[in-house]
Amino acid sequence: MSEFLRSYLTVAIFAGAAIGMVALMLGAGSLLRPTRPQPEKYLTYESGVDPVGQGWAQSHIRYYVYALLFVLFDVEAVFIFPWATRLEVYGVFGLVEMLIFIVILALGLLYAWRKGVLKWT
Amino acid sequence: MSALTAVLAQATTPPDGTTAIETPEIVWSAVMPIVVLVVGAVLILTFASLLKGKVRPEGYAFATIAIAVAAMATAVPLWNQIQDPAEGPFTAIAGAIGVDGFSVFLTFVICGSVILAALLASDYLREEGQPAAEVYALLLFSAAGGVIMASADDLIVMFMGLETLSLPVYVLAATQARRQSSREAGMKYFVLGAFSSAFFLYGVALIYGATGSTNLADISTFLSENVLLENGLLLAGLGFLLVGFGFKISAVPFHQWTPDVYQGSPSPIVAYMAGGVKAAGFAGLLRVFYLGFDAYGTDWQPLIYALAVASLLGGAILALVQTDVKRMLAYSSINHAGFILVGVEANSAFGVQAVLFYLASYAAIVAGSFGVISVVGRATGGRHDLSAYRGLSKSNPGLALAFTVFLLAQAGVPFTSGFFAKFEVLAAAVDASSYWLALVAMISAVISAFLYLRIVATMYVAGEEGEEVDPLLAGSDTAVIERTKVKVGAASALAIGIALFITIEAGLLPWTFTDLAADAVPVLIAG
């Protein structure tokens, strides 16, 4: 076995130990615990309240556009914060790059706004 | 003003104790085609949102064509610079982008494909009454991705190009959102495409593990200077990359999405998918395998060999049992992918030249073919089965003649560009001593010729109602539709005309294109 594959042996042992541990604990639990089934015990737990209706509830399609816009600006923030703390080392190049990035995103927001995405009615 | 410069200077000077990160120098002229395409697409979206319906949809088609032409125009000085022996090909942005004849040639092919698709889409969108600006912007974004793939000298940049190419096309496939088949096509293409991208990325990771670099020039140098004792990791990586590219070029056995997506997507979009997207896929394949892994040719050539044989026979034989013309041409495009793979398998400069000529001529042929399909399909309310083409020669002799030329070109009949395209890849295969592969390719050409002649015969022979029809020619649907004259829009007619001109011109005077393709050699230059 090559050195490279042997280093994966650790991963295999670790995975085996993890699976064995879970099997041991759940197995011991099912052997030791008393079993007294009641219908109430099989209800979905919702903070002690009886569940109402179907689990497959529909949410309005509108939310998806908001989620998209949110992800867009979330990603923008993820890029901007680390960049801002280290602006000096990137020099003018970094400044211009970030400006291009923000301008493109701003045009995207303009597009969404003009498309009426930001209105809730 | 001076205060601003002072602030800028202070903000951009590294404080004591830190060193400035070395930023790559950007040669703007080298990336100009990409910049023009992307900025053009963003401007189209911006103006479309600001002007909201005050611009006629044709205006956006015109803008798209102007942007694609501008991108081609910025590539012309690059081509001259590369062909100038004093300057030659070069690499830009810290070795990430390679500018050589290969990348510029494919820039022309991809932009040309966008122009033809935009012309076809112009008529299509007007008659379907759909919003236009987004379609054109997505076309341009996708083309930018294709150009990035054609010039990528780094696997990460290649992946970026692949995604930029693919994501807009997934949306474009679903633009006809009212028709369920179009939505299904978009979904299917997206899921399988995302799957193949994951394969590609995993391949990049494995190759990085094996060679210590994602830069193709570095990988090539590393592999020529070192002999790997254990090359399993590298070979697995190569295999994954091939799966990723195989999906994009729709080679058997990665072809299952092709018929469904081509059938469901709007025909002008299919013209771009089969022309531009396929050209970009082959560009990436050649750049990675022919340039980056030339030292491993004996390892990857058998894989390409197998894919080529499977695509040649699978595409040709499965096409025979189809009754829908769009599906037939989808399978025939798989067959064409097999032919192009024959040129790739040769792993020689001649083979690359043959592939480039094939891609350029096929982009024109397929744009023309789907142009005719788009025009006829609208007249029959979206029906594309063979019976919809019955007697087209009586009602629209010109359209039927153009379709005949495109189909004969796909079959490889002399005096069309398709003949020389097939001739060159076969010559490259024989040159590389792949005699059996060349033989299989010729057999598959004969099989697929039956398919093309079947469509041609349907247009010319089976015209009259009640006429005795050869069951082989009739297609499954025996109902005869009312054959009224199909209306051909001006833009569609122009697109079909351009495609027809290229097909015949390259068939009569092939050296005008083969000389260009011969100068379009890909080279790797260390950054």
- Label residue B477 by pLDDT band (50, 70, 90): very low
User: pTM for the complete prediction?
Assistant: 0.86
Q: What is the 3-state secondary structure (H, E, C) of B394-445?
A: HHCHHHHHHHHHHHHHHHCCCCCHHHHHHHHHHHHHHHCCCHHHHHHHHHHH
Mean pLDDT of B38-61: 88
| Inter-chain touch B23–A93, beta carbons under 8 Å | yes
* pLDDT tens digits, one per residue of B399-414: 999 999 999 999 999 8
Q: Tell me, what's the pLDDT at B7? A: 64
Which chain A residues are Cβ-neighbours of B46 within 8 angstroms? 107, 110-111
Listed range (A15-29, B6-20, B259-273) with the worst mean pLDDT = B6-20
Task: Tell me whether residues B50 and A110 touch, CB distance under 8 A.
Answer: yes
Q: Could you read off the pLDDT of B242-280 as tens digits, one per residue?
A: 999 999 999 989 999 999 999 999 999 999 999 999 999
Nearest residue, CB atoms, B230 vs list A2, A93, A107: A2
- Nearest-Cα distance to chain A for B165, in Å, is 18
pLDDT at B39: 95
Which H/E stretch holds residue B90?
A: strand B90-92
Q: Cβ contacts (< 8 Å) between A91 and chain B: which residues?
A: 12, 14, 20-21, 23
Residue A16 lies inside a defined structural domain of this protein: yes
B108 pLDDT tier (thresholds 50, 70, 90): very high
Structure tokens at B88: 């030659």
Instruction: Tell whether A67 is covered by a domain.
Output: yes
A120 within some domain: no
Range of the domain at A97: 62-114
* Rounded alpha-carbon distances, angstroms, from residue B298 to B233, B236, B289, B414, B440: 16, 15, 11, 34, 21
Residue A37 in any domain: the answer is yes
Name the one residue in this structure whose structure tokens are 């294709």: B146
Q: Is B94 within 8 Å of B24 (Cβ atoms)?
A: yes
Please report the pLDDT score of residue B470 as a whole number.
47
Tokens of B124: 């299509």
- Contact A93/B at CB under 8 A: yes
Rounded to the nearest 5 degrees, what angle is found at the Cα of B328, between the Cα atoms of B352 and B485? 115
Which residues have CB under 8 Å from B455's CB, separation 6+?
A: B325, B328, B386, B389, B403, B407
Q: Which of B10, B16, B19, B23 to mutate to test the interface with A (most CBs of A within 10 A)?
A: B23
Interchain CB distance below 8 Å, A95 and B49: no
ipTM more than 0.85?
Answer: no
Do the domain assignments include residue A19?
Answer: yes
Q: What pLDDT shows up at residue B1?
A: 53
Q: What is the pLDDT of residues B305-363, one digit of tens each?
A: 999 999 999 999 999 888 899 999 999 999 999 999 999 999 899 999 999 999 999 99
Instruction: Name the one residue in this structure whose structure tokens are 């793939």.
Output: B149
**How would DSSP label each residue in B112-165?**
HHHHHHHHHHHHHHHHHT---HHHHHHHHHHHHHHHHHHHB-BHHHHHHHHHHH
Residue A95 pLDDT more than 50? yes
Whole-angstrom CA distances from B419 to B247, B266, B331, B465, B498 are 26, 28, 19, 35, 19
Nearest CA in chain A to B13: A88
Domain count, chain A: 2
Cβ B98 vs Cβ B117: under 8 Å: no
Q: What is the pLDDT of residue B177?
A: 80
Q: How far apart are CA B15 and CA B18, in angstroms?
A: 6
Longest dimension (CA), chain A: 71
Residue A26, in any domain of the structure:
yes
Q: Answer whether B23 sits within 8 Å of A2, measured CB to CB.
A: no
| Three-state DSSP state, B527 | coil
Q: CA B415, CA B403: separation in Å to the nearest integer?
A: 15
Mean pLDDT of chain B: 88
In this predicted structure, what is the pLDDT of residue B38?
95
- My answer on whether A77 and A109 are in the same domain is yes
- Where does the pLDDT of residue B485 fall: very low under 50, low under 70, confident under 90, or very high at 90 and above? confident
Residue A57 lies in a domain: no
Kindly tell me if the per-residue pLDDT of B472 is higher than 50: no
Q: Are residues A70 and A110 in the same domain?
A: yes
Question: In this structure, is residue A50 part of a structural domain?
Answer: no
Q: Can you tell me the distance from the alpha carbon of B456 to that of B445, in angstroms, rounded to the nearest whole number?
A: 16
Name the residue type at position B248: K
